[in-house]
Amino acid sequence: MIDLSSTLANLASNTVIALQDAAMSTAPAVSTFVEPVVEQRELTGGFWLPQASSTLAPATDFAFHAITWLSYVFFFGITFVLVYLTWRYRQRGTEVRYDAGAPVHNTPLEVGWTVIPLLLVIAIFFMGFKGFLDLSTPPKNAYEINVTAAQWSWNFKYPNGATSNNLVVPAGQPVKLVMRSNDVLHSLFIPDFRVKHDVIPGRYSYLWFQADEPTGIVPEDQMSTTATGHYLFCTEYCGTDHSNMHRKVFVLNEEDFKEWEETQARWLDEVPDEELYSIAGPKLYLRCSNCHSIDGSAGTGPSWGNQTSGSIAGLGTLWARASEGTSPIDGGTRDNGGSTLADYIGPGKLYETPEDYIRESIYNPGALLVSGYGPNMPHFKGQLNDRAIDALIGMMKKLDQFDAKGRFIGKAAN
């Protein structure tokens, strides 16, 4: 069932991409990218449940199957007796007979049908209670990963400082997720592991699991289309792109995991400075693309391109609006009412430079609000360091070198 829905989701997003490509095909095609092929995943697991891939899964599945089978037995048993007795004691003819000596009470029978279900229900309670305690008590030696949910992406942060958009975990070791939300209620669900927990703004919540079987990993740009790994979903409706808030979980053996973690922690530092905007920019933009378009189309947030509609229509790209100060500002914690960015950017003003404004917009988006937009951007404090901000600002300044999906297409050939 999981596979069916994710295949449909992939199909839908591919259709959208295909439509976007078709719409863009009038522009000079500099792009040489090939659309990734979505791999089909074999249906695994049973009729009711997907494959069980964590140490907690067998107990959960046992409880599920026990309750399902008990329900079958009672449903068919009771229905059978009901139908049989209805038939057996149906009224015959028109004369109603009343047998004064017929039994009206049977103590063993009544004690039986009270006590047996009671024992079954108590058994179910303890099965559930034990499972609940196991699920909610992470082992002391668990490997901790910090999870931040935001509309509409996940960010995973590892003890060595590495961050990732998809979850990568060590095999054969308990993993504890320490989760929080930057905006609204979300919920993290990994069906193959049988774990699910709400992620709540203003609170930390825990989730733990242990996966013993390594899955391997694929390069980052193939993670959303690969059949490798386990699915991870947001399972609390959280707004427009809730259905895109699905990622992958990759389980690596200890050695591969260590290596991955090291490389992941360094990737941004290893990008050469002059390629920061073209290599790191697009990767980081994936965290913004749900709300900020590049081609000028309107979205949840202002386009980074020259927006074609709304309050900033025709004012130019984000960089042009910021450096010329033309964006109309309306609201936010630092705004004193109807103004433009020019009132806030410049020597001695709130922001010395347009770069400062953009940086602040990412760390503290509520400070100034572009007219027509609400405080709907999650902040990225603690998730994007200075180098990441540099990469993003660099990309915003050279937007003409990127296609509508944020892929680097090189300097315009003319």
Residue 238 near Cu ion by CB under 5 A: yes
Residue closer to Cu ion, measured from CB, 245 or 251:
245
**Could you tell which of Cu ion, ligand HEC, none binds residue 238, using a CB distance below 5 to 8 A set by kind?**
Cu ion
Residue closer to ligand HEC, measured from CB, 294 or 392:
392
HSE toward the beta carbon, residue 275, CA cutoff 13 A: 11
**Bridge partners, 187 (sequence order):** 198
Residue closer to ligand HEC, measured from CB, 66 or 315:
315
Choose the binding region for ligand HEC from 35-43, 163-171, 208-216, 320-328 (rule: CB under 6 A): 320-328
Residue 362 near Cu ion by CB under 5 A: no
- List the one residue out of 300, 301, 281 whose CA is nearest residue 389: 281
Residue 307 near ligand HEC by CB under 6 A: no
Binding mask 257-296 for ligand HEC (x = CB under 6 A): ------------------------------xx-xxx----
**Tokens, residue 62:** 């046992």
Q: Are 250 and 215 in contact (CB under 8 A)?
A: yes
Cα distance between residue 404 and residue 414, in whole Å? 19
Q: What long-range pairs does 270-274 form, CB within 8 A, spacing at least 24?
A: 271/391
Q: Are 31 and 21 in contact (CB under 8 A)?
A: no
Cα distance between residue 24 and residue 35, in whole Å? 15
CA distances from residue 29 to 33, 84, 407, 411 in whole angstroms, order as listed: 10, 74, 13, 13
Cα distance between residue 42 and residue 28, in whole Å? 40
Tell me which of 226, 247, 327, 408 binds ligand HEC, using CB under 6 A.
Answer: 327
3-state secondary structure 163-209: EECCEEEECCCCEEEEEEECCCCEEEEEHHHCEEEEECECCCEEEEE
Residue closer to Cu ion, measured from CB, 199 or 404:
199
**Could you tell which of Cu ion, ligand HEC, none binds residue 301, using a CB distance below 5 to 8 A set by kind?**
ligand HEC
**Could you tell which of Cu ion, ligand HEC, none binds residue 305, using a CB distance below 5 to 8 A set by kind?**
none
Choose the binding region for Cu ion from 136-144, 183-191, 291-299, 317-325 (rule: CB under 5 A): 183-191
**Least separation in angstroms between CB 242 and Cu ion:** 5
Residue closer to ligand HEC, measured from CB, 21 or 183:
183
Binding mask 353-392 for ligand HEC (x = CB under 6 A): -----x--xx--x---xx--x--xxx-x-----------x
**Could you tell which of Cu ion, ligand HEC, none binds residue 186, using a CB distance below 5 to 8 A set by kind?**
Cu ion
Instruction: For tokens 């130019």, name the residue.
Output: 316
**Least separation in angstroms between CB 221 and ligand HEC:** 18
**Could you tell which of Cu ion, ligand HEC, none binds residue 327, using a CB distance below 5 to 8 A set by kind?**
ligand HEC
Cα distance between residue 162 and residue 181, in whole Å? 19
**Least separation in angstroms between CB 183 and Cu ion:** 9
What beta strand segments (E) does 1-47 contain?
A: none
Residue closer to ligand HEC, measured from CB, 218 or 369:
369
Q: How many residues make contact with Cu ion (CB under 5 A)?
A: 4
Residue 188 near Cu ion by CB under 5 A: no
Cα distance between residue 380 and residue 205, in whole Å? 19
Cα distance between residue 154 and residue 237, in whole Å? 14
Chain contacts with ligand HEC (rule: CB under 6 A): 151, 287-288, 290-292, 300-302, 318, 321-322, 327, 358, 361-362, 365, 369-370, 373, 376-378, 380, 392
Chain contacts with Cu ion (rule: CB under 5 A): 186, 234, 238, 245
